[in-house]
Structure 1
Amino acid sequence: MKKIAVAIITPTLLFAGTAQADTILGVYAGGQIWDTSNSGSFGSGNGSQEFSFDDEKQQSFYVALEHPIPILPNIKIRENELSSQGLVTLTQDFTYNGQGYAAGTALGSTVDLSHTDFTLYYEIFDNDLLTVDLGLTAKKVDGLLAVRDAQSENRLRSDGWIPTGYAQVRVGIPATDLTVYGLANAITVDDSSIRDVEAGIEYRMIENLAIDLNLQLGYRDVKIELDDLDGIYSDLQFKGPYLGLEIHF
């Protein structure tokens, strides 16, 4: 993933001096169950093949630490499950990872792009009505793209780090226990791009001096377009609603 790993430009650090950090140390931990509808294609070197992918239930977990030191960024670590199985009957010859498959072959596929996000961010605004965070995310990917016929499985791995810009906006709805929010990680380099966006609404179930407990309902959309990245081509999309729970103490 050399092209993406060396190319990202962001104005985020220009805001470091104006970040309004929390006055006390805060720890956030949460998890989500994500019901994804999956679609797209992938290949290696000789074009891509579209597969009919299964819908899946994915999981995501995160922990974030926010502190009162303005010059230092806050940190968030998030584990993301991102996988699916597919199937197609080839209508034309297809070559993958150096192996040829004839038209008419029933070909299965496995996509596993599960990854860990390491995010450093600053709070540009932080109050009850508006919160704006900007930063950088490094995605650690241990990727697997495989096809299989009746005889064998043909695997291709692509591991590495992908840097993306990071932004989150939260808006509290006055006189309610509700907050609407949006979050995005994205990068475009040459003809390759990665987009991970979500939007939702949060209900503050418990809110006191000791602990906050929030229920989240949202929609997440991940799109991965690779053009000859380590020999891989893809146009894959994972999208759907999720239900989450967050605790703050």
Structure 2
Amino acid sequence: MKKLLMLSSMLGLIGVSSNSSADTVLGVYAGAQGWNMGVEGGFSRDENLAQFGFEDETNSSFYLALEHLIPVIPNIKVIQTEYSTEGGTSLTSTFTFGDEVYSANTLLETDIDLSTTDYILYYEILDNDIASIDIGINAKQVDGEFVVVDSETQRSAIEDFDGFVPMAYGRLAFGVPGTGLGVYAEGSFLSIDDSSISDYQVALTYSFVESLAIDLTLQAGYRSTALDIEDIDGIFADLEFDGAFAGIEVHF
């Protein structure tokens, strides 16, 4: 919540100063998305993951990007995404989590409160009405809390973790001049040792307001995030979140 308030404050301050100048000095892009995601995978305190069946959830994502005309200084984008969900499993073997040990055949419930914040520095390699290409680096902060509860005895265990993962970032967009229609693909990727993380989305866009003061664009597409992590604050996880999303972007 603090991160979302920070983004809102930044938008309010910067939007006032940049509205009159459009993109002549500073361009501001702010967006919000609703994501209907399915979840698969599991987690543990070691390499022996417990696999859970998760419920589909609708979560949110917000972003703010600042673009300028100084070639040597990268542009900045911050993305905040929620991945909260619930699930359960019948254990096939002994599972240790927190200070609790759960035996095989235990009916275990879980509550995942997971979020990521992407701090992206990028350069515009190409930018015109037909195509744009951005490349850069991303420091993805993964912040989460996993709760497991024995559905019969209500014995619970909680583990939280927080860490940064360096990733490569890219975005490719195409537009049809004079129509407001476009398409883009955007993602961050990492594969190192036994860990790999990917986070990408593809979408169709329609700009229904285009003026000197403000542009408004609708988005509809598909997003997928895969977290295969080894020992972030002692947490091991292999989770995949994917599904359709819809959003809106404001450009000052």
TM-score by length of 2: 0.86
> Would the aligned equivalents of 1:46 and 1:95 in 2 still touch at CA under 8 Å?
no
Q: 1:162 aligns with which of 155, 162, 165?
A: 165
The CA RMSD over aligned residues, in Å, is 1.5
Percent of pairs identical after alignment? 45
Structure 1 partner of 2:196: 193
Cα shift at 1:143: 1.5
Structure 1 partner of 2:31: 30
**SS of residue in 2 equivalent to 1:111:** strand
> Would the aligned equivalents of 2:163 and 2:233 in 1 still touch at CA under 8 Å?
no
1:102 to 2:90 alignment: no
> Would the aligned equivalents of 2:196 and 2:228 in 1 still touch at CA under 8 Å?
yes
2-structure distance, mates of 1:160, 1:45: 17
Give, as a single letter, the amino acid of the residue that structure 1 aligns with 2:183: V
> 1:112-151 residue pairs with structure 2 within 5 A?
112-149=113-150, 150-151=153-154
Structure 2 partner of 1:15: none
1-structure distance, mates of 2:214, 2:77: 19
Cα shift at 1:174: 4.3
Tell me, which stretches of 5 or more residues in structure 2 are unaligned?
A: 1-22
**SS of residue in 2 equivalent to 1:176:** coil
Structure 2 partner of 1:64: 65
1-structure distance, mates of 2:56, 2:216: 30
1:53 to 2:54 alignment: yes
1-structure distance, mates of 2:139, 2:101: 35
Structure 1 outlier segments of 4+, above 4 Å = none
Cα shift at 1:23: 4.7
Structure 2 partner of 1:6: none
2-structure distance, mates of 1:93, 1:53: 20
2-structure distance, mates of 1:60, 1:145: 20
Give, as a single letter, the amino acid of the residue that structure 2 aligns with 1:54: E
Tell me, which stretches of 5 or more residues in structure 1 are unaligned?
A: 1-21
2-structure distance, mates of 1:73, 1:228: 31
How many residues matched?
Answer: 228
> Would the aligned equivalents of 1:173 and 1:180 in 2 still touch at CA under 8 Å?
no
For residues 171-195 of structure 1, the C-alpha deviation after alignment (integer angstroms, 9 at most, x for no partner) is 1124522110000011111010111
For residues 106-134 of structure 1, the C-alpha deviation after alignment (integer angstroms, 9 at most, x for no partner) is 10112222021111111000101110011
Structure 2 partner of 1:73: 74
Structure 1 partner of 2:180: 177
1:212 to 2:231 alignment: no
> Would the aligned equivalents of 1:78 and 1:116 in 2 still touch at CA under 8 Å?
yes
